[in-house]
Amino acid sequence: MTFGGSVVSFSELQQHNKPDDCWISLYGHVYDVSEFLKQHPGGARRILKYAGNDATKGFGMTHSERYMERYLQKDWYKGEVELAPEKISKEAGKRKKIADKEPKRKDKKRSTFKETFKEKGKTVEKPKLGYILSLGDFEAVAMNVLPEEIRAYISSGSDDEITVRENRKALGRIFFRPRCLVDVSRNTIDTNILGQHSKLPFLISPIAGSEMVSQEGDISISKVAGEHGIIPVIPKNDSSSISNSDQPVFYQYSFDTEEAIIRAPEIVSNIQRKYPNIKALFVSVDNDCAGNLEKLRKYESKVGKDPQGLQPGDINRPSYAPTWRDLLRLKTSTDIPIILKGLQREEDIVKAARLGFDGALISNHGGRQVDCSRSSIEILYNAKKQMKEKNVSADGFELFVEGGFRRGSDIVKALCLGAKPALGRSILYSGVYGEAGVNKALYIMEQDINRVMKLLGANSVSDLNEDFLDCESLNFKATLTDQLYNENYMPLPGPKGRRGN
167 closest CA partner among 366, 383, 349: 366
Q: Cα separation of 321 and 288, whole Å?
A: 5
Pairing mode of beta strands 122-125, 191-193: unpaired
Which of 16, 29, 63, 365 is catalytic? The answer is: 365
CA-to-CA separations, 373 to 13, 336, 400, in angstroms, rounded? 44, 30, 18
- Residue 40 appears among annotated catalytic residues: no
CA-to-CA separations, 141 to 8, 57, 123, 292, 380, in angstroms, rounded? 42, 23, 13, 27, 31
Q: Cα separation of 115 and 109, whole Å?
A: 16
CA-to-CA separations, 282 to 165, 234, 350, in angstroms, rounded? 25, 10, 17
Please name the amino acid found at residue 91. E
Task: Report whether 25 contacts 56 (CB < 8 A).
Answer: yes
Task: Report whether 294 contacts 158 (CB < 8 A).
Answer: yes
Task: Report whether 95 contacts 110 (CB < 8 A).
Answer: no
Q: Cα separation of 15 and 35, whole Å?
A: 17
Please name the amino acid found at residue 230. I
Tell me the CB-side half-sphere exposure of residue 140, using CA atoms within 13 A.
15
Instruction: State whether the Cα torsion 314-319-322-323 is positive or negative.
Output: positive
Give the catalytic positions in this structure. 365
